[in-house]
Amino acid sequence: MTPFRFVTFVLLGALMWTGCSNVTFTEPMPMKRRDLPKFPTKWRGTWSDGDEMTITIGESYFEGNDLDKMTLGDDVLLRRFHGHLVLNQPEENGKWSVLLGRRWKDELRLWTFDGSDDAKVAVWGAILNDSAITEFMRDEELGVKTYTLAPENNAAFRKLITQGGTTESYTLQRITP
């Protein structure tokens, strides 16, 4: 399994392992939006990349391959924003991991915030004015940097999405409705 695939599994698989994301937010995104109690009907079903990743989305849960079933609630928040569904999960440090998804008919695309991509980090700095980004070394030996983003408002979060601040991680096709 490639490192890229592993990162996506970790994020998608309920983001259940604490400290797994190298980019977190100070609060669930988008800010001050209503949490959805269930996935929209058109999102439900089984989705696959045709290779190693298959996920099943139910009314209020998702699960996949070797991933435990994750149910929407206090530890997994789902919100709508700018044509996306935004999945949030708290990390052990009190910050939030964020994953974005967008569905087009029978295709589901997933985006993450990837701190290993210097171009993305530069976009975040330009949009958030470096003062809203905290950077620290999580693993000195490996040189792994961790970032915490603190957008001032939802307009800034929207710019992160629309101006190249995210990385497309997967494109999945519907297997069954």
Average pLDDT over residues 26-41: 96
Q: Per-residue pLDDT tens for 43-86?
A: 999 999 988 889 999 999 999 887 788 999 988 999 999 999 99
Residue 63 lies inside a defined structural domain of this protein: yes
* 164 in any annotated domain: yes
**148 is a domain residue:** yes
Residue span of the structural domain in which 73 resides: 3-172
Query: Which of these, 45, 170, 49, lies nearest to 101 by C-alpha position?
Result: 170
Letter for the amino acid at 46?
A: T
Using the predicted structure, report yes or no on whether residue 114 has a pLDDT greater than 80: yes
Query: Could you tell me if residue 177 is inside a domain?
Result: no
Report pLDDT digits (tens) over 122-162.
999 999 987 788 877 655 566 678 899 999 999 999 999 99
- Rounded to whole angstroms, how far apart are CA atoms 34 and 48? 29
Residue 7 has pLDDT above 80, yes or no: no
Asked if residue 134 is part of any domain, the answer here is yes
Between residues 49 and 18, the one the model is more confident about? 49
Tell me if 41 is assigned to some domain: yes
Q: In the chain, how many domains are there?
A: 1
**Nearest alpha-carbon partner for 152 in 52, 8, 31, 4:** 31
For residues 16-36, average pLDDT = 79
pLDDT for 9 beyond 60: no
- How many angstroms separate the CA atoms of 86 and 141, rounded? 33
CA–CA gap between residue 57 and residue 122 (Å, rounded): 34
CB-CB neighbours of 41 under 10 Å? 9
- Kindly provide the b/e burial profile for residues 93-107, where b requires at least 16 CB atoms within 10 angstroms of the residue's own CB: eebbbbbbbebeeee
Report percent pLDDT > 90 for the chain.
63
pTM: 0.82
